[in-house]
Chains A and B, each alone.
Chain A
Amino acid sequence: MNKVCVIGTGSTKYGKLNESIVELAISAAEDAINTANITPNDIQYSIISNVFGVADKQVHLSPVITTNLGIPHVPGLTVESACGSGSIALREGYANVAAGFYDVVLVVGVEKVTHTGTARSTTLFSYCSDFFYEGGSGVTFPGLFASMARAYMHKYEANEEDLALVAVKNHENGMLNPKAHVRKRISVEDVLRSPPVASPLKLLDCCPFSDGASAVILASEEFAKKSGADYIEIIGSGRGASPATLQGRDDVTTIPSTRAAAQQAFKQARIEPKDIDFAEVHDCFTIAEIVDIEDLGFFEKGEGVNAVREGITRLDGELPINPSGGLKSKGHPIGATGVGQVVEVYEQLLGRAGARQVKNAEIALTHNFGATGASCAVHIFRRV
């Protein structure tokens, strides 16, 4: 297998944006191409990560994007895996380069939904659940993760204040990220007083609905060296899957796909969780970050809350989690998120993260999943 490198990245702001889905994608791709010091003609394959292109009247995105980048002859596809689309698109790009099918692959994650309004977006997103058993009986994504939170708090010693600490931390990090959707310092009190969405989760326990696009250029090591661009290496890639429903799991306080994907990625990279300097994990809701850092192997089950209470996962802590602000503060354009995590890693490992720079970062991990973790991918990156 070839070594695979990230040679350039780009991202729009995440937020309630006016640009169309295609404009957002082109903007991110343009920045990635320029950072990578290539021209579009170097791109051989295009992987678009998107879930609800229908909401902006555009599916079959790859040809529309490549045409508007001036490379209509480049083949591609759209990957849809709910909120995990981005990392799973990255994995497909990784596999193509590792196997030697292509030397240079463009991966663009994009989402444009805020214009549909909260009720419609909530409903659309509920289609990412197993609709017959979940969305169809009135549960939303906040509701699914609220059920997970209730079970977690029942099983382990955790309370709503602990969940709130995750939101506070991620908002602090987001204040240092000029592209973050929600840039607002909040307190634990603010979280606890925010309106209930699905008990026990409140508004500030939940990531926002966001628009945005992020793009990366993947290349073989050989191409990376010749390009003259600064690059980082992907040293581990893992996939996992869990039962589509919460009901299908023996224990709803853990996400099996995360554990499987992480084990594969660590095994391939020949490192352990303790070797990771920082991680971007899937904090669609505050409870998710706590469950994620346990499932990834950073902390024992039930101990994730202690890590948060003790400040271990803060930007200035031993293991910064979500230095970008995470889905909570940076935002969650669902097709873009998994790719956006790689943009953060690239900037951090190359020392370009400004005020939120993680010191001495050499090895980083990204973790991103779809729905309640039915699909998941984990990647590990190394500074070269």
Chain B
Amino acid sequence: MVSRNEFIEALNKGRVLLYRCDKCSNIQLATVEFCSRCGSNNLTVVESDGRGRVLTYTILHVPPEGFEGYSPYGWAVIRLDDGINISAFIDIKRVEELPILSKVKITGYDERGIVASIDN
């Protein structure tokens, strides 16, 4: 089992840890402990390079506590090239900066949570 800390350490290196099911080869985030397709508990860790495209996003203007200093900022749902989705804080201020399907990359984890950047 990948611990939360291991998952975060990988994010800090711009990597997303995934599981590949030994039984059916299904890929999922390494926070899901049984294969969501076949239920197997035998999962192998694989690494994603955190690259993907924006599926959808928003720009927050009314932030929760702790995020006031960043406002406005973006939050996006991202389809990694590996076919798995993840979500992340993204430092953009205006809608035009991030059309749907823009290329992005996971770059780290800090007080802003999971962080992604535009990938040029």
Contact = CB atoms under 8 A, between A and B. Distances in A.
Interface stretch (B18-26, B42-50, B85-93): B85-93
A291 B88 CA distance: 24
Interface in A107-128: 118-120, 122-123, 126
B41 interface: no
B64 A147 contact: no
A147 B63 contact: no
B77 A198 contact: no
Given A195-B61, A198-B62, A137 B85 contact: no
Interface size class on chain A is: 35 or more
Contacts of B1: none
Interface residues of B, number: 33
Contacts of B64: 119, 122-123, 126, 135, 138, 140
Interface in B65-99: 65-68, 70, 73, 75-78, 85-89, 95
Nearest to B100: A154
B57 to A, nearest CB: 6
Contact of A147 (B56, B65, B67, B114): B56
Contacts of A154: 56, 100
Interface string A199-233: 11100000000000000000000000000000000
B40 interface: no
A142 B62 contact: yes
A140 B100 CA distance: 20
Contacts of B100: 150-151, 154
Contacts of B56: 147-148, 150-151, 154, 246, 252
Contacts, number: 104
Nearest to B80: A247
Nearest to B56: A151
Contact of A150 (B4, B58, B88, B114): B58
Nearest to B86: A247
Determine which residue in B70, B78, B86 has the highest number of CB atoms from chain A within 10 A of its CB, and name it.
Answer: B86
Given A151-B56, A247-B77, A196 B61 contact: yes
Contacts of A133: 86-87, 114
Contacts of B114: 133, 136-137
Contacts of A134: 75, 87
A198 B73 CA distance: 9
Contacts of B75: 134, 137-139, 143, 147
A176 B101 CA distance: 44
23 contacts: A119-B68, A123-B64, A132-B113, A136-B113, A136-B114, A138-B73, A139-B60, A142-B58, A142-B60, A143-B60, A143-B75, A147-B77, A150-B57, A150-B58, A151-B55, A154-B100, A196-B59, A197-B62, A198-B58, A198-B59, A198-B60, A198-B61, A199-B95
Interface of B: 4, 31, 55-68, 70, 73, 75-78, 85-89, 95, 100, 112-115
Interface of A: 118-120, 122-123, 126, 132-140, 142-144, 146-148, 150-151, 154, 195-201, 245-248, 252
